[in-house]
A and B are shown apart, each in its own frame.
Chain A
């Protein structure tokens, strides 16, 4: 099982994830966080927001950019396997599904952590976010947990996409949905209650809450609650994704949709 895990962790970024081109990695880690933060910072400024609102938005977008590698890239592995004609071969193999799928999330977790870290650095350097050095360990735990949870979410979407023709639509929806529902650009309380509940179902919401609590030097008990919620959301995503992979694998094989692209 561990051989399968590490083989997938090592090979998937070069193949079905398409992550390991240097231009992609540099763009995802260094360019996308900055351009996204600049975009929303100026939108906030145009809307009459002050320095605190700009900092709020910048920190939110710094964390939200993990969705590119954790959600979008991971959920597209299904598409890439189907497109390459290797999905059928993969699914008839006796390899552990846990090792197979979770192993693919290993490098995206690292890239997500890196892009969030660079985003936070930009937020501190250019957008007025104040980060007390004493809060860095708590912030680091929050970022790592968020990355884990978001990759789990990406695997969940990839599992759903096994039965669909393409994961691209799902990936695009959830790539940006967090910007609206996870408290990235404005507090969740500004949304209607049903949308707040929808936002609470996303791991990004809890991960971002943990990050904001860490940066604001909230009591450790508060931060730990958000850690727990993020870990729970992530565990639920991983568990659901494994269950869904099994279910949709059977359905896709039975209906022949496994080969549709």
Chain B
């Protein structure tokens, strides 16, 4: 029997990592709560602040809070798993194995996005109950399709972020301190155009910024986001996501080589 190809090996590593992440979640689902609590609270606070502003503002609150849940799960999931690997001493053998670490991370990221979706659904239900009814959506099918794409953009960012977390012992600090900065910078709850103009180029580095703006153009009639409109937003989201995914392999190869040279993967 012929030896499996590298691609089969990578796919198997991703599937195994995804399966392990799923099993860890099922063994102890309470860990979804920390990444869900903040979005639920912020969603309810925003709902209260938007209460008298019209029916489409409910979409702002729900969309923003759901995005925060998914963003949070991606952010924490990217760093937490690598941090745990480091703490348990499994980071070194994992990186030293022939299968690129990227494919292990990919499985975790896929699960994180999916569990973020579960958190987002819970956020949706909570705010729905508070509002007494669902939000108005002009194009429900288009919304769902674009929402799924937004999840992909978050996954792309999560993959690159996790490369940074391989370097650092302090992923938790970056996550906690940078949490709000990510929510603000990517326009989770409000359009990035509200921020000072010099922040916009930084925000546009993230695929989620483009995708969220496009989602709001689709979901909220009269929405004013980036001046170039829905289609350029969509194109920008696609291009930036492709760039992130294309460079992820190169970045990870460099990171793996570098950390193995430095020899500090066992530090905790």
The one of B30, B41, B183, B191 that contacts A179, using a Cβ cutoff of 8 Å: B41
The one of A47, A166, A169 that contacts B53, using a Cβ cutoff of 8 Å: A47
Contact residues in A for B42 (Cβ distance below 8 Å): 176, 179
If A27-B177, A42-B190, A172-B38 are given as contacts, then 15 extra A-B residue pairs at C-beta distance below 8 Å, sorted by A number, are A31-B177, A36-B180, A39-B180, A40-B45, A43-B45, A45-B194, A46-B50, A46-B189, A47-B49, A166-B30, A168-B31, A169-B30, A172-B34, A172-B37, A186-B45
Q: Is B44 an interface residue (CB 8 A)?
A: yes
Q: Is B254 an interface residue (CB 8 A)?
A: no
Contact residues in B for A177 (Cβ distance below 8 Å): 41
The proximity string for A residues 226-245 relative to B, scoring 1 for CB distances below 8 Å and 0 otherwise, is 00000000000000000000
The one of B52, B176, B194 that contacts A46, using a Cβ cutoff of 8 Å: B194
Q: Which chain A residues (179-206) contact chain B, with CB distance < 8 Å?
A: 179-180, 185-186, 190-191
Q: Is A38 an interface residue (CB 8 A)?
A: yes
17 pairs of residues in contact across A and B, judged by CB atoms under 8 Å: A24-B170, A27-B177, A35-B181, A42-B184, A42-B189, A42-B194, A43-B46, A43-B190, A46-B189, A46-B190, A47-B50, A168-B31, A169-B33, A173-B33, A176-B42, A179-B45, A185-B45
CA distance A191 to B44 in the complex (A): 11
Q: Is A50 an interface residue (CB 8 A)?
A: no
Chain A facing B: main interface SS: helix
Chain B: minimal CB distance from A31 (Å): 5
Closest chain B residue to A68, Cβ basis: B176
Chain A: minimal CB distance from B37 (Å): 5
Q: Is A49 an interface residue (CB 8 A)?
A: yes
A49 touches B41 (CB 8 A): no
CA distance A42 to B49 in the complex (A): 11
The one of B49, B170, B177 that contacts A185, using a Cβ cutoff of 8 Å: B49
Q: Is B173 an interface residue (CB 8 A)?
A: yes
A-B contact count (CB 8 A): 90
The proximity string for B residues 169-181 relative to A, scoring 1 for CB distances below 8 Å and 0 otherwise, is 0100100110111
Contact residues in A for B189 (Cβ distance below 8 Å): 39, 42-43, 46
With A35-B184, A46-B194, A169-B34 already in contact, the answer to whether A176 and B41 are too (CB < 8 A) is yes
Q: Which chain B residues (24-82) contact chain A, with CB distance < 8 Å?
A: 30-31, 33-34, 37-38, 41-42, 44-46, 48-50, 52-53, 57, 60
The proximity string for A residues 24-40 relative to B, scoring 1 for CB distances below 8 Å and 0 otherwise, is 10011001100110111
CA distance A38 to B173 in the complex (A): 20
Residues of B within 8 A of A (CB): 30-31, 33-34, 37-38, 41-42, 44-46, 48-50, 52-53, 57, 60, 170, 173, 176-177, 179-181, 183-184, 189-191, 194-195
CA distance A69 to B42 in the complex (A): 20
A180 touches B177 (CB 8 A): no
Contact residues in A for B30 (Cβ distance below 8 Å): 166, 169
Q: Is A133 an interface residue (CB 8 A)?
A: no
CA distance A169 to B37 in the complex (A): 9
Contact residues in B for A42 (Cβ distance below 8 Å): 184, 189-190, 194-195
The one of A23, A32, A38, A47 that contacts B57, using a Cβ cutoff of 8 Å: A47
Contact residues in B for A27 (Cβ distance below 8 Å): 173, 176-177
The proximity string for A residues 63-106 relative to B, scoring 1 for CB distances below 8 Å and 0 otherwise, is 00000100000000000000000000000000000000000000
Q: Looking at B34, B180, B194, which has the most chain A CB atoms within 10 Å of its CB? A: B180
Contact residues in A for B48 (Cβ distance below 8 Å): 185-186, 190-191
Chain B: minimal CB distance from A84 (Å): 11
CA distance A186 to B52 in the complex (A): 13
